[in-house]
A and B are shown apart, each in its own frame.
Chain A
């Protein structure tokens, strides 16, 4: 056992790897147990140092640096491909947005065009089959702008807007009048329409073709049975 008074000084001297000086040195020269304790401490510290040294200064594999370079190069290529992919996606997004915008503009222009209410046989709308002779379908856009179209329920409006279905069937004799009416409506001349400044007498009444129902042939049951 080292002397209690010199114990800490011994450890500190061993830890700092310095040669004991002064009083401690003189004591070590006299005290065998302290000398032994000091030697143990020095051995302990030397063991710690050598163990740490061995752990840290191992041989480095010659392939380590090339591998590190390769992994860094891999990261460079990866980041480049990310960049290229990013550019590609950004370009695609721009094209898509431009296409959608152009489509929206075209659609808006088509809606703003005055409707071709009267469809001649040569016009594209005339190619839609008319269910009755003398009845011509009205252009799709015109229907949506007609005042009564707003009053229609959504489903009905959707159905009207469907291009595959003839939307409004107007008899030939009503076409001009309806076109004039729609034009007035488009020009926001509601007063004209409502107040009746227009010459209503010129409006010929609608003449729907009468429904033809064949007369029913009612026979008594007994007669049928006798036959």
Chain B
């Protein structure tokens, strides 16, 4: 019994080294904040560890962890938004300092804000695939096997997601062009 537990733990630690950064990156892609993403990745790993014995196919661990991390990050983002809205309602109008940096930074920040909004409006399936495809070191084939979906599905999801984002950001093309 103890040996089996020790084996499971050893296996989990090996996977942790491999999948920890992946969980962090997925969370970072959603939250755009390193500290929050680290918290989410830690929580995702803890949850994964607690249920590791119940996972029948340990080869699916990566995809499983990615989904946990993705969902936790979305939850955190939503609760942060709610908190922000509440704070804005109750607080006095905040004094926003005038941008003192260069125009391109301002333009880039504006574009980033629009992109974040557009990403939030994307369906979750598309969003996850898009984030994974943007990561270094993961091919489309790997993403397909990670998520357990056909290769064609991954390709079409990436295509649709990018198109949807472009539709929403096209009107801000001038802002981008300023850079």
Contact = CB atoms under 8 A, between A and B. Distances in A.
B162 A58 contact: no
Contact of A48 (B13, B131, B165): B165
B28 interface: yes
Interface residues of A, number: 31
Interface string B129-149: 011001110000000000000
Contacts of A69: 13, 16
Contact of B173 (A12, A40, A58, A67): A40
B50 interface: yes
Given A15-B162, A75-B49, A64 B29 contact: no
Q: Find the residue from A40, A41, A68 having the highest chain B CB count within 10 A.
A: A68
A76 interface: yes
Interface residues of B, number: 39
A60 B24 CA distance: 8
Given A16-B159, A56-B135, A72 B49 contact: yes
Contact of A64 (B41, B46, B115, B135): B41
Contacts of B13: 69, 72
Contacts of A76: 9
Interface string B84-114: 0000000000000000000000000001100
The A interface is mostly helix, strand or loop, or mixed, namely helix
Contacts of A49: 134, 162
Given A11-B166, A44-B169, A51 B112 contact: yes
A52 interface: yes
Given A68-B20, A69-B16, A72-B45, 8 more contacts: A16-B159, A45-B166, A47-B169, A48-B165, A51-B111, A52-B130, A57-B136, A72-B49
Interface of B: 9, 12-13, 16-17, 20-21, 24-26, 28-29, 32, 34, 38, 41-42, 45-46, 49-50, 111-112, 115, 130-131, 134-136, 159, 162-163, 165-166, 169-170, 173, 176-177
19 contacts: A12-B163, A14-B166, A43-B173, A44-B166, A45-B166, A47-B111, A48-B115, A48-B169, A55-B32, A56-B134, A57-B25, A57-B134, A58-B34, A64-B20, A65-B16, A68-B20, A68-B42, A72-B46, A75-B50
Task: Please provide the 4 A-B residue pairs with the shortest distance between their CB atoms, ordered closest to farther.
Answer: A52-B134, A56-B29, A56-B134, A15-B163
